[in-house]
Structure 1
Amino acid sequence: MLPILYSFRRCPYAMRARWALLEAGLLVQWREIELRAKPAAMLEASAKGTVPVLVLADGTVIEESLELMHWALAQADPRDCLGAGDLDPWVGENDGVFKHHLDRFKYSDRYPEADRSTHQQEGRAILKGWNDRIRAAGWLAGERMGLADAALWPFVRQWRIADPQGFDADPELEPLRGWLNRFLQAPAFERLMQRADPWDPGGQQHLFPADAIAVPTDQPLFHLALASDWHQAQNDGEYSVSTRGLMLEQVGFIHCSWREQVDATYDRFYADAGEVLLLEIDPALVSAPLRGDAIPTGELFPHLYGPLPLHAVRDVSHR
């Protein structure tokens, strides 16, 4: 049984939770809610009445977005987001004082006693500090993307929505804009912002991501590997190449194929690659999540969201 996710498309807390589910290669039952008509099943699971809420198969309820992100990446963290730097100072500032200013800047009609321009100035000062950090290090917590970046970008997006012209024209926020665009222009953004009708127990039951399927474990998967990469894996103890020339930590998953997809994949990417091997994988022997994801053409391919253990490869042949 898949976990159940209660979510609201535009909520930044729910957005960062969905980002983590995508990153970890997980599939969940998706219950999009209406804020003015929260379903009784959600309120029974979590009386706080806010999203996200994740109900696991054993009945465990995760009702805080950061806890949900940690849970998802504990299942699989192919780009090692959890190990990329300290999360607490960034999230503390974002979820506390920055969110306070963001609400009063973006939703000034809800806070008639607040001075919008003051909150804009205070919020921008925080953004300027994040901007300077990104300028110096590349990301918030270090030289590569970490959980802090994933947790904060939905809120920076909300700030931009409140004043897109001002945000885009601010000469002192150029690194921050580039950082935000790494998320907005990534394929994952369109997937995590997919739309669904509000959940109804008697209506269509959606999955998230909506363009994905579970991978059956009773039929083999295949992966084309350069012979040199496979030989290196024997020394490393596991195989971590995503596809030709790219590693798992760069892409976030290992490309696989079903049997009928192997020939077209070889012709497109490996025909001139020299010695190529075909790895036959027993999906029941891998521990990392497997998910069938749609490519831009709509065709589904199986993806492995973690390294491939050598014992899961039951046959190796020359292609």
Structure 2
Amino acid sequence: MKLPILYSLQHCPYAMRARLGLLLADQQVLLRAIVMKSKPEEMLAVSPKGTVPVLILPDETVIDESLDIMIWALQQNDPEDLLHKDSPDDLPTTIDLIRRNDKEFKPQLEIYKKAKRFRLENVIEERQKCEVFIAELEQKLATNQFFIGQKPGLIDYALLPFVRQFSRVHRSWFLQAPYPYLRTWLESHMQSRLYGKAMAKFPLWLDGHEECLFGKTKTDKT
């Protein structure tokens, strides 16, 4: 049986998002680990924008947006009902929040990371701009265990890599920041077996063109 091919970068939050979605949906792929300074010609031929993740299905369909990969995977199989099929209003809310994360929060997070890295005078100001979104997430968790309702959904796993990235910019500050619910949520996810599997390190594909099997099998239970 021919498997999909996934081009992935270990610490890219978008690639992390895609890997989480594939694991949650029990979808197996052949993973090709890359680094951005040396992009495979094979990847660029099917996705000229040159960013990860890129998923190539057996019928040669190319999906090169992380959220689209998650939704495709969960449409194949959604054992934990992460799409909340019995609550149709949840998906538009989920998509809206993810879009805001990608279009507003993530660009500001990059500015904050740069300010912290280069010890710029405006680092606190840039962090506070990020906190507008972070505070909204904290508020959601103050009344629910997860971002939408009392069970995990697509939104939780789609935002996980980005909240993780924010927490690591200034770790000591985050540990005492006024976001206790978000810290608990983040720690719970990062201590899970699922997260460990999503963050497994694979040999670079260009070094030996070794395709690595990624994804759960029927006997691999969380």
TM norm structure 2: 0.90
Q: Which runs of 5+ in 2 are unaligned?
A: none
Residue in structure 2 matched with residue 16 of structure 1 by the alignment:
17
Distance 2:30 2:207 in 1: 12
* Structure 1 stretches of 4+ moved >6 Å: 109-114
Q: Deviations over 1:283-305 (max 9, x none)?
A: xxxxxxxx14xxxxxxxx366x9
Residue in structure 2 matched with residue 66 of structure 1 by the alignment:
67
- Equivalent residue of 2:141, what SS? helix
The alpha-carbon distance between structure 1 residues 109 and 186, as it changes in their structure 2 partners (threshold 3 A), is closer
Q: CA deviation at 1:142?
A: 1.8
- Matched-pair identity in %: 37
Q: Which has the higher contact order (CA 8 A, sep 6+)?
A: 2
TM norm structure 1: 0.63
The alpha-carbon distance between structure 1 residues 200 and 126, as it changes in their structure 2 partners (threshold 3 A), is same
Distance 1:113 1:43 in 2: 36
Answering whether residue 191 of structure 2 is matched by residue 185 of structure 1, we say: yes
Residue in structure 2 matched with residue 173 of structure 1 by the alignment:
179
Q: CA deviation at 1:162?
A: 0.6
Q: CA deviation at 1:179?
A: 1.0
Larger Rg: 1
- Equivalent residue of 1:103, what SS? helix
1:87 aligned residue (65, 83, 94): 94
1:164 aligned residue (157, 160, 171): 171
2:127 aligned residue (114, 120, 123): 120
Answering whether residue 212 of structure 2 is matched by residue 206 of structure 1, we say: yes
Q: Deviations over 1:122-179 (max 9, x none)?
A: 1122211110111112211222111111111110000011111111111x20000111
After the TM superposition, which residues 1-319 of structure 1 pair with which residues of structure 2 at under 5 Å, given as runs?
1-83=2-84, 85=90, 86-108=93-115, 115-170=122-177, 172-200=178-206, 202-209=208-215, 291-292=217-218, 301=219
Looking at secondary structure, tell me which structure has more helix per residue: 2
Q: Which runs of 5+ in 1 are unaligned?
A: 213-290, 293-300, 306-319
Query: Is the contact between residue 104 and residue 114 of structure 1 (CA under 8 Å) also seen in structure 2?
Result: no
| Alignment root-mean-square deviation, CA | 2.2
> How many residues align structurally?
215
Looking at secondary structure, tell me which structure has more strand per residue: 1
Q: CA deviation at 1:113?
A: 9.0
Choose 38-47 or 142-151, whichever is displaced more. 142-151
Q: CA deviation at 1:105?
A: 1.1
Distance 2:207 2:72 in 1: 26
Query: Is the contact between residue 104 and residue 110 of structure 1 (CA under 8 Å) also seen in structure 2?
Result: no
